[in-house]
Amino acid sequence: MSQVLIFIFIAIMWVLILAGGGILVTMVSKISITGYGQHLDFFLASIVKAIIAIALVGAWVLVLTKLKNKIFQKQIKA
């Protein structure tokens, strides 16, 4: 059973990777900032996108940590 859980964990990671990519492409990449001049707008938008992307990775790790604790609770305690 414990080995089946590892396969399930991998499948969940796969779905999370694809879903995270979806959020980045459909939402984060569309962010634009205007009103500070062409170069500064692009620079500020890049910084905002980078911060959101890094926060998404942080959220991804947090979700995986929670899932890991839930899925492998028995094994980890053992």
Partner 1 sequence: MQDYIVGAVVASAIAFFVVFGLVPPLIKMLTKKNWMVKDVNRIGGAMIPRPGGPVILAGIIASEISLYFLLPQHTFTTKAIIALLITTSIGFIVGFIDDRKVMGGWFKPVALIAAAIPIILLGAYEPNLVFPLFGEVKIPALYLGLILIMIPITGNTINSIDVMNGIASGFMTIATFSLAIALFILQNYSIAILTLPLAFASLAFFRYHNFPAKIFPGDSGAITLGAAYGAIAIIGHVEVIAAIALLPAIINSFLFLSSVKRIVEHRQVKGPTVHTDDHKITATKEIDAPITLVRLIVAAKPLTEKQIGNTIFKLAIFSGILAIITALVSGFRI
Binding residues for partner 1 (CB under 8 A): 1-3, 5-7, 9-11, 13-14, 17-18, 21-22, 24-26, 28-29, 46, 49-50, 53, 61, 64-65, 68, 72, 74-76, 78
Half-sphere exposure of 10 (CA within 13 A, CB side): 6
Give CA–CA dist 57/75, Å, rounded.
26
Tokens 């959020």 sit at which residue?
23
Q: At its nearest, how many Å lie between partner 1 and the CB of residue 27?
A: 10
Q: Which is nearer to partner 1, 17 or 36 (CB)?
A: 17
